């Protein structure tokens, strides 16, 4: 069964600190992995996309890593800002079927002053 | 480029009533998705269209939910009759042919009382 698990479920950090969110998946065959940011009351917005051959990708203060062998990904946020408070969702494409995607349940991050 | 449009943004109905949501995808995007996102959870795919044909509706509660995408552009999602557990945000997303990059609309928040 195709699954995407994220940890932690929620996280509170002080403004300016770094944090790392985890994503483990069992989707096979694998096509690509995305991290989305979802602000409260808004639709998800893509942060990064990684294919099988990519180990790391950055988007500003966001850096995603991918280990296709262990089927793990992480999203590292550097020098957090209050605006980083949101849910971060890991989405894996693949697993058979046309453009099939599997969503994780998300990590809810709260950055406090 | 205009994004994915959805309406209404908010809807409150009583159980056993009917409701319909509308989605206008990004121009030229052949694939359209409807997701249900219950508070605190990741989005769950309800139905996926490729042009005006259904690709995946395996998780759509067909006894009460229906969706159509006439002419392969706009789409409507209907719930009839609504239940309390249908309270959620309904997200519409679209993607272009051959890609997995999904662009999400702002969602419709449904409250069933």
Residue-wise pLDDT for B50-61, tens only, equals: 988 998 899 999
Rounded to the nearest angstrom, the minimum Cα separation between B17 and chain A is 24
Which residue, among B95, B57, B72, has the nearest Cα to A44 in the 3D structure? Answer: B95
Contacts with B66 (C-beta within 8 Å, 6 or more apart), sequence order: B77, B78, B80
Query: Percent of chain A at pLDDT above 90?
Result: 73
Q: Can you give the pLDDT at residue B1?
A: 59
Which among B100, B107, B109 has CB closest to A101? B100
Q: Residue B54's closest chain A neighbor by CA?
A: A98
Chain segment B65-103, per-residue pLDDT in tens: 999 998 889 999 999 999 999 999 999 999 987 776 889
A110 part of contact set with chain B, CB < 8 Å? no
In whole angstroms, give the CA distance from residue A71 to residue A95. 13
Which among B42, B56, B109 has CB closest to A97? B56
CB B60 within 8 A of CB B48: no
Question: A43 contacts in B (CB within 8 Å)?
Answer: 4, 91, 93, 104-107
Q: Can you give the pLDDT at residue A1?
A: 77
In whole angstroms, give the CA distance from residue B24 to residue B37. 19
In whole angstroms, give the CA distance from residue A72 to residue A62. 17
Mean pLDDT of all residues in B99-110: 88
B8 part of contact set with chain A, CB < 8 Å? no
Mean pLDDT of all residues in A32-39: 94
Token pair listed for B102: 């999904």
Asked whether residue A98 carries a pLDDT value surpassing 70, the answer given is no
Asked whether residue A95 carries a pLDDT value surpassing 70, the answer given is no
Chain segment A64-88, per-residue pLDDT in tens: 999 999 999 999 999 999 999 999 9
A97 part of contact set with chain B, CB < 8 Å? yes
Token pair listed for B111: 């409250």
Torsion of CA A56, A60, A61, A62, to 10 degrees: -40
């Amino acid at each position: 069964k195709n699954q995407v698990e994220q940890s932690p479920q929620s996280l509170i950090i002080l403004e300016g600190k770094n944090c790392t969110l985890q994503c483990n998946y069992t989707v096979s065959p694998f096509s690509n992995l995305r991290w989305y940011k979802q602000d409260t009351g808004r639709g998800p917005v893509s942060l990064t996309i990684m294919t099988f051959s990519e180990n790391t990708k950055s988007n500003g203060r966001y850096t995603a890593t991918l280990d296709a062998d262990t089927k793990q990904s992480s999203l590292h946020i550097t020098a957090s800002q209050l605006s980083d408070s949101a849910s971060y969702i890991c989405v894996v494409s693949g697993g058979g079927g046309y453009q099939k995607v599997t969503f994780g349940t998300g990590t809810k991050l709260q950055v406090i002053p | 480029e205009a994004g994915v449009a959805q309406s209404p943004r908010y809807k409150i109905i009583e159980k056993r009533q009917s409701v319909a949501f509308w989605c206008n995808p990004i121009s030229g995007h052949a694939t359209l998705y409807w997701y249900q996102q219950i508070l605190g959870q990741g989005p769950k795919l309800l139905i996926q269209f490729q042009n005006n044909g259904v690709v995946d509706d395996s998780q759509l509660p067909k006894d009460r939910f229906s969706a159509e995408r006439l002419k392969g552009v706009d789409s409507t999602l209907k719930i009839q009759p609504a239940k309390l557990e249908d309270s959620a945000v309904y997200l519409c997303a679209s993607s272009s042919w051959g890609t997995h990059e999904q662009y999400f609309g702002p969602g419709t928040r449904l409250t069933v009382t």
